[in-house]
Amino acid sequence: MDFSKRVTEVPPYLFAEMDKVQRELEGKGVDVISFGVGDPDLPTPDPIIDTLNAAARDPVNHRYSPYEGLIEFRKAIANWYKRRFGVDLDPVREVHALMGVKEGVIHFLLSVVDPGDLILVLDPSYPIYEVGTRFAGGEVYRVPLLAKNGFLPEISSIPNDVAQKAKLIFVNYPHNPTATVASLDFYQELIGFAREYEIVVCNDLVYSELYLEKERPPSLLQVKGAKERVVEFHSLSKTFNMTGWRIGFAVGSPELIGALGVIKTNTDSGLFRPIQIAGIKALNQDFREQDYLRVIYRRRRDIVLSKLKEVGLQVDPPQGTFYVWIPLPWGNSSIDFCKTILERCGVVLGPGVGWGQYGEGYFRIALTLEDDRLRAGMDRLGRAIQKGL
């Protein structure tokens, strides 16, 4: 059977492949400790669950939701943005509910990218930005993220002919996988570049509340006048441990949000009402109620960094997210390294090349395991590094 190029030209999704190998090992009785996928092990807070339960029992909420999301949910999003970033949003024209950011990113790219359009994608980065571009028929220009630049793109190094052709640039700070946080100064430079070349800017801001230093990450929309060419994506997945709930939102330029809405009204029928009502409960919480998350991830980060230091690996502490980005201790193939560790130690790591060609030479650890399992996994990894397997 012949399949579309969308299927045949897109490589297998990294995490799906990792999950398959893990299940095979577990089927053989291997105790696998996975540092692979960034899926929080912590439960969704009880008040959010209680709100969902109550809403789900009301038959009114069993019917279709508005395509763009309940107006109450969109108002809660706008209020959250105002409290958190000092950014004003029109909940009617500048906010759209999503079934998670992954869905939103792909649908947004379908709404703005035509075959042959050039999209700037940071490398390494979350694979969906490139995959979504290719689904839409676009072409990708990879902007390298290098350690010497603090894993921020060197905007001035983008060739003029590339910038003139580019239609959109995708960024993601706090950054997956490098755990770097961008400053408002960087965003101002980025918006200046986007204005000069009339480029749309998308920021995947899902990790904004998982900051591991005192400084809270900014929003692109805090840059004066940025909204006219910016769409920002956010999710409740990481902030409230709601990955399986599939609830997020896009905010920004009313024209771009409107274009996204055209695709979504023709591909889905809106987000389940009780989940949005629970989302309102989450967004209306005091920001301090999430302090416990940052305490936990800082502690886990320190466990990982301490073990790495014991075996002679000095790693820059992650500034945000719940990841640690680590240079390979030996070899030059992240896939070979991670495969060896998995087969010999039963520990799943994320090979850096899975996030792009400039991710080669690194691997990623997700801090989404309880402390005892985290320590056990790091003990296995530490012994393997010392042996030089």
CATH 3.40.640.10 fits 46-286, yes or no: yes
CA dihedral of residues 368, 146, 139, 333 (deg, nearest 10): -70
CATH 1.10.40.60 fits 5-44+290-387, yes or no: no
- How far apart (Å, rounded) are the C-alpha atoms in residues 311 and 304? 11
Phi, psi of 125 (to 5 degrees): -165, 170
**How many Cβ atoms from other residues are within 10 Å of residue 336's Cβ?**
13
Q: CA dist 271 to 93, 128, 151, 364, Å?
A: 18, 21, 35, 32
Secondary structure of 214-262 in HEC code, one letter for each residue: CCCCCCHHHCCCHHHHEEEEEECCCCCCCHHHCCEEEEECHHHHHHHHH
Q: Which residues contact 288 (CB under 8 A, 6 or more apart)?
A: none
Tokens of 40: 């929080």
Predicted pLDDT at 389: 60
Q: Is 81 helix (H, G, I), strand (E, B) or coil?
A: helix
DSSP secondary structure string, 190-212?
A: HHHHHHHHT-EEEEE-TTTT-BS
Predicted pLDDT at 274: 98
Taking Cα atoms as reference points, which of 201, 285, 202, 203 lies closest to residue 242? 285
pTM score above 0.85: yes
Tokens of 208: 């904004």
Cβ contact 141:123 at 8 Å: no
- How far apart (Å, rounded) are the C-alpha atoms in residues 248 and 237? 8
Residue type, 3: F
Is it true that the peptide bond before 177 is cis, omega within 30 degrees of 0? yes
- CATH topology identical between 5-44+290-387 and 46-286: no
Predicted pLDDT at 28: 87
Predicted pLDDT at 49: 98
Cβ contact 352:177 at 8 Å: yes
CA-derived radius of gyration, the chain: 21
Predicted pLDDT at 108: 98
Give CA angle at 240 (275, 107), nearest 5°: 60
Predicted pLDDT at 15: 61
* Interaxial angle between packed helices 273-283 and 71-85, expressed in degrees from 0 to 180 and rounded to the nearest 10: 20
CA atoms within 13 A on the CB side of 207: 26
Is residue 231 within a helix (H) or strand (E), and if so which, with residue range? strand 230-235
Tokens of 48: 């959010």
Q: Digits of tens for pLDDT over the chain (389 positions)?
A: 778 877 777 766 666 666 777 788 888 888 999 998 899 999 999 999 999 999 999 999 999 999 999 999 999 999 999 999 999 999 999 999 999 999 999 999 999 999 999 999 999 999 999 999 999 999 999 999 999 999 999 999 999 999 999 999 999 999 999 999 999 999 999 999 999 999 999 999 999 999 999 899 999 999 999 999 999 999 999 999 999 999 999 999 999 999 999 999 999 999 999 999 999 999 999 999 999 999 999 999 999 999 999 999 989 999 999 999 999 999 889 999 998 999 889 999 999 999 999 999 999 999 999 999 999 999 999 999 988 76
Tokens of 132: 């979504």
- The arrangement of strands across the sheet holding 95-98 comes to 95-98, 248-252, 230-235, 200-204, 166-171, 118-123, 139-144
Q: Is 297 helix (H, G, I), strand (E, B) or coil?
A: helix
Report domain extents, the chain: 5-44+290-387, 46-286
